[in-house]
Chain A
Amino acid sequence: MKSRNLLKFGLIAAAALMVFGCGSGDASSSASSTTPTTAPAAEGKKLKIGVSIPSADHGWTGGVKYWAEQEMKNHPEIEWVYQTADNPAKQNESLDAMLAQKIDGLVILAHASEPLTPKAKELHDAGVFIVNVDRGFTEPIADIFLAGDNKAFGRISAEFIAKQLNGKGNVLILEGVACNVNTDRVEGAKEIWAKNPGIKVLDSQQADWNMQKAFEKMQTMLVKHKEVNAIWAADDDMALGAEKALKEAGRDKNIFILGGAGMKDIVKRVMDGDPMFPGDVTYPPSMIAQGIKLAVETMKGKTKEELKARKPTNETVKIELIEKANAKDFYFPDSIY
C-alpha cells in the first residue's frame, strides 16, 4: 500500500514537473529572455519589469493581453515578469509575488481601483517604479498615469446618438457588468441625455459585456418597446448581440447601434457605411502597449535615485469618435480585438 502511494506521488510530481516545466519555458520564449546574447550590455544587470493585467475574459481584455505580449516582445533587453489575474484578489497576490521577485518597475492595468491601491502603495514604497494604465488608484501613487476616460466614452457616444437623431428619439441601453467602468460610461452618457430633452431613454438593462445576454435582453426589450430609434451599448460585444436580436425580430430597419471600444469587426462595418453601425468610439486595448513602452523609455539607463527624483506625470488616452470618414485609421485587421 505504501509503495503504491509513493508511486502515485511520483506520478503526480512528474506530471507537475512536466506541466510547469513547459509553462515556464513558454513564458521565457514569449516574454523574458529570448535574446540573452544580443542584449546590450550597457549595464551589468537587466532591468526587471512586472506587467500585471486582468485575464482575458472578454474581447477587450483579450485585446489587452494581445497588445501587452506584442510590446514585451519588442523589448528583449528587459526581463519581464508577466501575470494575468482573474479578479482583484488574485491581482493583489500576483503583485506580492512580483515584489518577492524584486522587480524594478511595474506596469499595471488594475481590475479595480480601491482594492489594488494599498498593494500598489506597498510596492511603490519598496522602490518600484509604477506605470498605471486605464483605471487610476485612489491615491496618487503612480509615477506615470496613463488614464483611460470612461466618462468621455459615454459622453462621446451619447453625443453622437443625439446628433444623429437630431435631438429627438427613443433609445434603449445595454450596460456591462456592474463596476466602475460601466458606471462611468453610463453616467457619461446620462449627462448628454439630460442635455437633450427630446431623447427618451426607454429602458436600460445589464448584459454583462456578453453577446448572448445582450441578445436575450434585447429580444425582451424589443417586445416591450415598439418605437426604438437607437441603441446605446456600453461595448461592441453587446452591440453585436443587440444587432442579432433586431434582425431576428425583423426590427433592423431605421435603427442604429452605437457600441464602443473599437472592435475590428465593428470598425470595418463603420468603414463600409453599414447603416446599423454609423459610428463607434475608441477605447483602445493597445493603451497597455503604450504604458509598457513608456515604462521602458523612462526607466532605461536611469538609476533608482534618478527615477525617484522624477516628478509623476499624467497622460490621458484620447477617446475618439470613429465615423465612416476616419474609420480606416482605426482598422487593424491583424489585431485580436
Chain B
Amino acid sequence: MTSTVPRVTPAEPGGVTTPGPGRVQPAGSKPLSTRLHRSPRLRLLGLLALPLTWLVGVYIFSLVMLLITAFWRTDPFTSKVIPGFTLDNFVRLVENPAYLSTSLRTLSIALLVTILSVVFSIPLGIFMAKVASPWLRAFLAVAITLPLWAGYLVKILAMRITFTENGFFNSALEPLGLSGPGFSYTTVVLTLTYLWFPYMALPVYTAVRQIPANLFDASADLGARSWTTIRTVVVPLLKPALIAGSIFTFSLSLGDYLAAKFVGGSTQMIGSVIASNINLNPPIAAAFSVVPIVFVLVYLFAVRKTGALDRM
C-alpha cells in the first residue's frame, strides 16, 4: 500500500488543511453521536430500550398474567380454565387446613434456613476476613462458591445420599441404635441451607472485610471481649449484608419444591402444592403462588421498619 496521507498541493486553494503529525483530527463527523449528545431524552431512550423491553414485556407481563389467573376458575369436569372473576381460590387457601399448614410450614422452613445461614456465616466471615491467611481465605472463598457451580439437582442428590434412608448417617448411626434425619422436615431445612448458604456467606464475608481493623482494636481497647465486640460492633455493621443475604435465603427457600420432593418425604411446601396443581387447576396454583409473594413483601416491610434499608 502506498502512502494514504492526503496531501494539499498549492493547486488546491482553500482545500482542507492537512493535520500535522502532532495534531488529532476532531471526531465530530458522526451525526448519530452528535444528535444523541444534543438530546438527553433520546439518550435515555437508547439506554433503557432493551432493559425496559425485558422488564415490562416479559417480567411484569408474566407476573400480571399470573395474578389475573388467580381470579379465574376451572371447570371441575373438563379441567378447562374459565376466565372471569372469583375469589373462590383465595377462600379455599384460607379454609383448607392443609393449605394453611403448608403455608406456615413453608414460612418456618424459610425462616429456619435464613437463621441457620446467618449463624454460620458470621463466624465464618470474621474468620475469613480477619484471621485466615491469604491462602486459606482464597481456599474458603472457593469452597463457599463451589456448590454454586454444581447443578441444583446434583446438590439435592448429594444431600439425599448423605442424610436419607440408606444414606451415610443412617448407616453410621445404626450400630448405636440411632437413625439420621431421613426423609424429613429437618433434611429439607438442611438441604435448603446447603443450597442457599453462599448467598448469605459471600455478602457477609465482604462486609466483614470492609470493617476497619482498628474498630476491633478500639472495641477491645475499651474493654469489650470478643463476644461483646461481635454483638455491639460487628453485627450492627453487618446489618445491610445480612438483609441482602436473607432476602435471597428467605425468598429462594419459600419458592423451592424440589428439595421437599426429593429429601422431604411427606413434607409438603407451597411449591409442592403449586407443582401438583399446575396442570389440573392453574387458578388455584396461581392463587397459592401469591402467598410467598405476600410473605416476602411482609418481610421487606418489616426490614424497612427497622431502618436498615436506609443505608443500602
Pair from one complex: no
